[in-house]
Amino acid sequence: RPKQIKDPAKVSEVLSEILEIPPSFILKKIGENRPFTWIKRQLPRTTSDKVVALGIPGVGAVMESKRLYPLNEAGSTLIGKAGLDGNGLSGVELLFDEKLRGPTVSKRVGRDALGNIIDISGHSEFIPPRGQQVELTIDAGIQVIMEEETEAGRRSANAKSAFAVMLDSETGEVLGLSQAPATNFNLEGSKKRELGNMAIEAVFEPGSMMKPLVVAAALELGLTKPEEIINCEGGRYPIYGKVIKDVHPYNLISVRDIIIRSSNIGMTKLGLRMGKERLYNSLRSFGFGERPKLGLPGETPGILRPENKWAMIDIATHSFGQGIAVTPIQMARAVAAVANGGRLPQLSVIKGGEEFHSKRIISEKVANTVREMMYAVVEDEHGTGSKAIVEGVRVGGKTGTAQKARADGRGYAAGKYMAGFVGFADGSAIGVNRSITLMVVVDEPNTSTIYGGTLAAPVFKRIMQRSMHYLSTSAHLGGDSEQVNTSAQGKSYDVSLHKASL
C-alpha cells in the first residue's frame, strides 16, 4: 500500500533481493498514486513468508489460488490456460469458463491497520462456492504417451513441429491430442501463439492420405470395383495442360493396388470418372469443408472450394489430396468412418455432453473393402506403410506427403513438406475390444527424407504400440484408476490416471 511506505528506496532494495526483480520496478510501483498495487503475483508460499516476516508497514501478501497442471505439458493446449485471476484464456478453460468458475458471491469484511482482512459480519465461516466439474474424454495415460512420442518424432525429423490426434473410431471420443513442441503452462512466460491447438487448427493438404476415401466414394457410387485394372500410363499422364506423375511408375494395376502403391494417375482416372459434383459431395460427406463441431476455440473448416469454382485439373488433384486443405482431426474422423464400418461419428471431447450419434456415409461392405486395402498398405510387400506395423495387432493406414502452400496462397513453398500417416488398429487379439484411429503429421522435416511412410509412420507405430499395451493392461486391471484433483479460483478438475505401466 504505497501511502504506508516510509522509505521507498530502502524497501525497494530489500524486496528486490527476495523477489528477484529490479528495485527500479518496485520503486515505480510504490510511487503510484493508488491505495493498493501488486508487486508480484503467484509467488511460492516460502517466498511470500519471507516478505511478510520483514514486517514492513504497507507490504503484505494475499493468498490466491493457482491453476496447476499435474501432467505438465500433457494436454495443456486442449485444457487451456487460466489467467492470474483464474479466468479462462484458451481451450476448455475458455469454453467453460463460466461453468468452471461458479457463481459470484460477496461478503462484507473490514481491514485492520496492516490491510489484513477481518470478518465483521458475525456470521459463520464463509466457504467460497465451487464451480461445476467438466470431465474430458481424454485418457491421461494415452495423452502422456502421445506427447512423448510426438516430440521424439519431431526431434528425429528435425522438424518445425508435429501433431497427432487419437479417436475412438466407434464413439468419436477424442482420446488424445498432442503437439510438439508442447507448452507447459506451469511455467511462466507462455506466448499467445503457444495457446493454439494445432490438431484442430492446423490446415494442410493431406496428399495421398485422401486416396482411400475417394476410392470408397467411387465404390459406393458403383463406378469401380477393387479388382478393376487401371492403366497408370508408366508414371506420366498428360491432362488439361499438366502432367500427373507417380513416384514409382506403373502400367496396368488394380484399384486395390492403386491404394497400396499410391498411384496419383490411377486416382486421377477414378476422380475424372466421378466428375466435379460427385467428387465434391463425397468429400463433403466425409466431413471436409466444415468444422468438426467439437465446440473448441479455434476450430477451422479447412478449405474445400465449391465445385462450380473448380477447374478441370482440380478434379485430378483433389482425387489424390492436393488443392484441398484439412485439419488433423478432420482427417482422423474421416478415416474412423472406414474403421467403424461406414459411419461418420460425431466427435466429442467432453463427457456427458450431447448424445452420441453418427451418420452412415458408405455401406458396411464398402467400408470393409477399403479397410482391407488399408491393411494391405501396411502388410503388403509393395505397401508404403510397412513402418507402421505393430506386433500383435492388425494395423491399417495410408501414408501421405504433400508440399506446403506458400503463406500468400500462391503456389507451393520450396522445400517445405508435410509428412503424414493416418490409420487404425484392431486390438481385439490382445484384449482391447475397441477400434482406435490415429493421425500423425510431421511439419517441415529437415532430414534426408520427406515421406510420410518414413517419418510419420514410425511415430504412429510407437504411439499405437504403447497405447495398445496400456489399454490392454488397464483392461486386465479392471480399469482401476486414481484421481488427481486440482483447483484454481473456484474451478475444479479431475484427471484420471489408470494404474497401468506406461
Looking at the DSSP bridge assignments, the partners of residue 436 are 168, 425
Whats the size of the chain, residue-wise? 502
Residue 433: partners with Cβ closer than 8 Å, 6 or more residues away: 427
Residue with cell 461418420: 344
CA separation for the pair 387, 498 (Å, rounded): 29
Angle of helix 140-157 relative to helix 452-476, nearest 10 degrees, comes to 160
Least Cα distance to 42 among 82, 74, 10 occurs for: 82
Distance CA 277, CA 318 (A): 12
Burial of 324 (0-12, 13-18, 19+ CB in 10 A): buried
β-partners of residue 173 are: 348
Residues 6+ positions from 459 with CB-CB distance below 8 Å: 149, 150, 152, 153, 162, 164, 421, 440, 442
Is residue 428 among the annotated active site residues?
no
CB 374 within 8 A of CB 362: no
Q: Which residues contact 361 (CB under 8 A, 6 or more apart)?
A: 285, 286, 337, 342, 343, 344
CA distance 207 to 218: 18
What HEC string does 205-236 produce? Answer: CCHHHHHHHHHHHHHHCCCCCCCCEEECHHHE
Instruction: Provide the 10 A C-beta neighbour count for residue 300.
Output: 16
Find how far residue 5's CA is from the centre of its chain: 50
Which of 48, 76, 208, 263 is catalytic? The answer is 208
Cell of 445: 522435416
Active site residues: 208
